[in-house]
Structure 1
């Protein structure tokens, strides 16, 4: 039986099914503290999963780290994948506690942290609120309300919808020639050092802008500058030169890919950096009103941007 209380919390009965799942994931753990940690984490995820489904959000508990036996033995993790939105961290709060503890290993790759308070006999869990702050301890008094939580998820759902993403990511490059440059695109002097500029920009162009892009993960992460040069062509066409430069280094690592695709997703041009390349580039022309995508990738990490001439 679920109920929303006057304090805008949400109570979830921890049934035999809930305890059975918690027992399944914690069994075989010899360390009693670790066993209890996994047990409580599982109950917290169960409660949030129940709550979100009641509120109409699709979840994927089986696709979360908290369902991976190896991960939960190595890490203090209680995540729940919300379909198309990302991972929520569901943190257990014991009776009479005044803070919600968030371990450092879950400070990244989370769209939020939900506090779940248990009663003394673990028969009921209460969803107290949430926070976006990844901190070791968050006072329960500083949690945002469940009303704000549902609003946040709804706004995130809209922001991550394909229609919104295409609209918000669309770069109207055709307007650059008229002086209307999309937000987030900097002059190249802000991105590249003078030595790189000397090598790269010997010929004049009508408009040049760039954007820093981070690729890769952790120790393999690299930063590059995606630079776009636009010049008026003949008969309503625009000549476009797109380049990728290293940021903070003199050369690109081997394997950086620059790719151009059309509106139908068909591959038009592609280049991959070799050992000791200072930059890579592709040059093409596009007609007014035409859309295309530029993708920069390194390893399994990639970023794509949609342009309209």
Structure 2
């Protein structure tokens, strides 16, 4: 079985003899041709997602899923896969030329999300196109969120279901971002900022950009800000880091928002403060592999600090 992750952040699997043997086993006792084909495709879809999640380091439990229960698959159109400690994910098959992912009503509840798995015409290959959290009859394929966002979503679910672990993982391993391992809670900036802000602030080409909503309380009159961090490799063992603070839902920052960078000893090394009508503030610096630093965003008596390691 060959696996590959394409540049579009989809995930393709060559469907082996084993995959088809499992699908055949699940569907063989079903008399209706249409229902038998449905179970066959559902089983292949679950097989693909199970393979993908295990490759990504998530622990799955197909045996405890409804899609493994022979009575359930006869009575319902179900293709769920249980992710340990997170919940059930629905793996929906998509035919080769389809433009929508169909989600049957019986799986509109008790699901943490829906993955679209598209097959080629020979059923020799399947590709996970993306995911949605919307429980509705049809989701157009262009509406799907990327697999990159899906992994971030699962990481956020892990944090939400294990709040006691949040403090221990508070150190952001920013050096791993370039390898595709982005810490939970750091979103694609398109989810935080409007298109006008992106056009103004992100003209430089960077390797990876992520952001996080920062709430500084009533000092900002209920206006949240986005802490945005960009990272790019400069040379072996050294990276360029650009950090910015943007308003969320407003065009400008209030005067007096402070952005500070401190080294691992706690000494402030860079600082900038917003002026009246500033659209954003930013600081740029370089850091070496293994180096730690802190980013602090403050306004009045409120402040938040994030710790990073390259």
1:23-172 residue pairs with structure 2 within 5 A? 23-161=24-162, 163=164
Q: Following TM superposition, by how much is the alpha carbon of 1:165 offset from its aligned partner in structure 2, in angstroms? A: 9.1
Hey, what's the Cα distance between the residues in 2 that align with 1:8 and 1:95? 19
Measured on the aligned residues, the alpha-carbon RMSD in Å equals 1.6
Hey, what's the Cα distance between the residues in 2 that align with 1:163 and 1:16? 43
Hey, what's the Cα distance between the residues in 1 that align with 2:137 and 2:107? 10
Hey, what's the Cα distance between the residues in 2 that align with 1:126 and 1:66? 20
Hey, what's the Cα distance between the residues in 2 that align with 1:7 and 1:98? 17
> Highest Rg: 1 or 2?
1
| Poorly superposed stretches of 4+, deviation over 2 Å | none
1:173-192 residue pairs with structure 2 within 5 A? none
Hey, what's the Cα distance between the residues in 2 that align with 1:58 and 1:108? 22
Hey, what's the Cα distance between the residues in 1 that align with 2:31 and 2:121? 24
Residue 89 of structure 1: SS of its match in structure 2? Answer: strand
Number of residues paired by the alignment? 167
Q: Following TM superposition, by how much is the alpha carbon of 1:159 offset from its aligned partner in structure 2, in angstroms? A: 1.1
Residue deviations 1:162-185, cap 9 Å, x none? 51599xxxxxxxxxxxxxxxxxxx
1:226-305 residue pairs with structure 2 within 5 A? none
Q: TM-score, normalised by structure 2?
A: 0.53
Q: TM-score, normalised by structure 1?
A: 0.53
Hey, what's the Cα distance between the residues in 1 that align with 2:81 and 2:133? 15
Q: Following TM superposition, by how much is the alpha carbon of 1:13 offset from its aligned partner in structure 2, in angstroms? A: 1.3
Hey, what's the Cα distance between the residues in 1 that align with 2:114 and 2:152? 15
